[in-house]
Structure 1
């Protein structure tokens, strides 16, 4: 089964391929990695390719027409995140009997590690994606001493693949400077038919205002945050920004969509904020479009799909000048940016917006997001996979002279280091 936005339908660029996609997270998981992989998977299927999904079993059952589910385990500090156990024997047997043209490893956990080893053992070309800055997470979970070993492992892992897909120019420069090779920047897309301003729901806004209590007004200003409520998401700044905004504008309504281990702490710190849990599909789209602006304090993202979804929904965003914010937002034109080391400046921007609003900035944000079409991105992904398959038998992989650039300005210029 595939979950496909109309924008990512495309015709194949040549003969069909058999691709094995190895990932620790996939639909129905709710996170940016699962969203991206679901779109890529569905688009490749629509183009006639065979795509085998290999992932750990989830608490919520998956429907996989062509796939292998392996045992997994939940992280002790974050039970909703699961990693797959190594599956070397099972993968080796499967791929010997039914050899894929290419293995794409989307996550670097135990399952991904075993897939990389077995594919290389069989001589099957391997590509990878770097979706999560695991090395930056370590300090948030009191294991900062692991940051350097984790970075060394990630570099070792990805440098053993034919190429590594990353989401932004900024990341290409940073990782290239750390010794990562063969970086190919592939941007993120958004389903602009689902996420659009027409989803705005006055009834939902009224419900939020009733739940928030406080001063009632005819047309409240609604601030929104969507994301995983976890330590690495810089949620202390969300608390500080929402608090400052409420002081500046007592009738402000703030809504948080998402769940995670930090939710209880946030609810205690922000008792007036409306927490609605996880949402997906049409319900999520209505929540975006029914707000007035989006507050995104995270500095640990490789991209930040929620920023693109918010902009497609007609929301101006407050973000740091990093990842999606750096790529998408022009300060004062279609959103607001703070320097990465300026949390006080972030709060000042939030306070100013709470007083003066955002005007027509959301219209310009929507116009920006409309250019990020999944169809173009998935075609680029397909072509890169074809290139790897075509050259695998004859070319020795070495670091290229330039990082490949995807259409629409979604890749970096120059060498991976700059």
Structure 2
């Protein structure tokens, strides 16, 4: 079987969609399933792979870290026809997704897609709520013509059902527990960033409005006022709010910038808690990664995050934007070591049940269902065309 994937984001871009698709392609490689992925070219390209086809792109004006594909339709059509896919998967609803949708209909190729980002929730952070009805109409048009739309969490599935979306299924997310795990990273991280504080708290994600950085900063100020030299924050990531964020904090905070996965794992393992106020997540990969490191998460009781954290068991869920709740939750766990250890053990135990192989195997079964072939057939013999 041959799968063509169309996406507007892929590595080396740093976001949940890009990381998930990168893992999917490596899984397909390992299982011997043929695929070609079409994505915008990035200015920071790394080693190319034969089955990753990059197209010209330009920075997105509102969000320069993102790229807008400017493909050559003739060349892309030629590559697609040479590959002869049995299935097309559109991972994003923009330029590349529209091209995948167009070619699927033109050549009669079964089409599925995935919904990764709560774009509507982002609008409030950019003062663009007025276009919400237009956005939902477009997304319904885009997804309801697909044979299947995969969403990462039950919360997102229910949201889309309520908005009139059809043919929905769950494609969850996993975590590599051999990479993200509790270890003796505390001393290495403390040496690297010269941390002497008793407690380390962390955040990982884009430093952008939709991650509710405003709430995070207020919580940090509250904690720092009370705990002073006893706490140090590690802020992992970068984005449009980076400069303003750094200007608001001096001591007790280290901004690491983007880190690769092994370094992020070290930060989580060295942290007492990960604080994640974003309420716009359709899943929340970094939350699961933190739990895999045995680090409880103080997160927003919204979106996909509420489907990952078991309140008062693996972390604490707080009302979105409620600074006092987040602050109190942090103090509650830092002041109760036995409760923290209990949560840490439960967090790691839960993460161990979230295997990427199991999740990708289910996705292949869903592909098989769309193509009306036996479930599991793809992994048994590759089902060559």
TM-score, length-scaled by structure 1: 0.84
How many Å separate the matches in 2 of 1:291 and 1:27? 27
Residue 248 of structure 1 corresponds to which residue in structure 2? 226
How many Å separate the matches in 2 of 1:340 and 1:290? 26
**Which residues of structure 1 form unaligned runs of 5+?**
1-16, 211-215, 392-418
How many Å separate the matches in 1 of 2:323 and 2:43? 37
2:315 counterpart of 1:331: no
Deviation at 1:158, TM superposition (A): 0.8
Residue 365 of structure 2 corresponds to which residue in structure 1? 383
Q: Give matches, 1:396-407, under 5 Å.
A: none
How many Å separate the matches in 1 of 2:293 and 2:16? 17
Deviation at 1:207, TM superposition (A): 4.0
**Residue 101 (structure 2) aligned to one of 85, 95, 116:** 116
How many Å separate the matches in 1 of 2:205 and 2:184? 19
Residue 132 of structure 2 corresponds to which residue in structure 1? 147
Deviation at 1:363, TM superposition (A): 1.8
2:340 counterpart of 1:359: yes
Residue 268 of structure 1 corresponds to which residue in structure 2? 247
CA contact (8 A) 2:150 2:168 kept: yes
The range that moved more, 49-58 or 356-365, is 356-365
Q: Give matches, 1:274-353, under 5 Å.
A: 274-340=254-320, 342-353=322-333
Deviation at 1:343, TM superposition (A): 4.3
Structure (1/2) with the larger helix percentage = 2
Q: What is the RMSD of the two structures over their aligned residues, measured on CA atoms?
A: 1.8
1:370-404 C-alpha deviation (Å, 9 max, x unpaired): 1100010010011111121227xxxxxxxxxxxxx
How many Å separate the matches in 2 of 1:52 and 1:281? 24
2:212 counterpart of 1:234: yes
How many Å separate the matches in 1 of 2:130 and 2:182? 45
**Which residues of structure 2 form unaligned runs of 5+?**
374-385
How many Å separate the matches in 1 of 2:330 and 2:219? 6
SS at match of 1:276: strand
2:61 counterpart of 1:76: yes
The range that moved more, 307-316 or 96-105, is 96-105
How many Å separate the matches in 1 of 2:62 and 2:80? 34
SS at match of 1:198: coil
CA contact (8 A) 1:248 1:355 kept: no
CA contact (8 A) 1:19 1:102 kept: yes
**Residue 94 (structure 1) aligned to one of 79, 93, 96:** 79
How many Å separate the matches in 2 of 1:94 and 1:316? 46
CA contact (8 A) 1:53 1:64 kept: no
Q: Give matches, 1:148-167, under 5 Å.
A: 148-167=133-152
Deviation at 1:86, TM superposition (A): 5.1
Deviation at 1:315, TM superposition (A): 0.3
CA contact (8 A) 2:154 2:304 kept: no
2:237 counterpart of 1:258: yes
Given the superposition, is the C-alpha separation of residues 98 and 57 from structure 1 closer, same or farther in structure 2, using an over 3 Å criterion?
A: same
Deviation at 1:341, TM superposition (A): 6.4
Given the superposition, is the C-alpha separation of residues 324 and 178 from structure 1 closer, same or farther in structure 2, using an over 3 Å criterion?
A: closer
Residue 224 of structure 1 corresponds to which residue in structure 2? 202
TM-score, length-scaled by structure 2: 0.91
SS at match of 2:183: helix
2:353 counterpart of 1:371: yes
CA contact (8 A) 1:258 1:277 kept: yes
Aligned residues: 368
SS at match of 1:327: helix
CA contact (8 A) 1:208 1:253 kept: no
CA contact (8 A) 1:208 1:255 kept: no
